[in-house]
Amino acid sequence: MPKLKTHSGTKDRVKLTKNGKVMVRHSARNHFMENKSASRKRTMDGMQEVPGKSAKNIKLNLGA
């Protein structure tokens, strides 16, 4: 059986932590930012953990 290829789009958008958590950028950070409050924008800073089955599917795409 040949090796599975890493999904390039997933590789660019996702980070795996040392403990195996899948981290992604928060959504809704691209445009219409002037309509959002400062506290809401601060909440969306940084990375967000992907829950459950979605994380499992992402790990399969990464070959991890």
pLDDT at 4: 84
Cα 32 from Cα 29, distance rounded (Å): 8
> pLDDT-derived band of residue 26, with 50, 70 and 90 as boundaries?
very high
Is 8's pLDDT higher than 90?
yes
Q: What is the pLDDT of residues 32-64, one digit of tens each?
A: 999 999 999 999 999 999 999 999 999 999 987
Q: What is the model's pTM?
A: 0.81
Distance of CA 19 to the CA centre of its chain: 15
Nearest of 36, 62, 3, 33 to residue 24 by alpha carbon: 62
23 beta partners? 15, 49
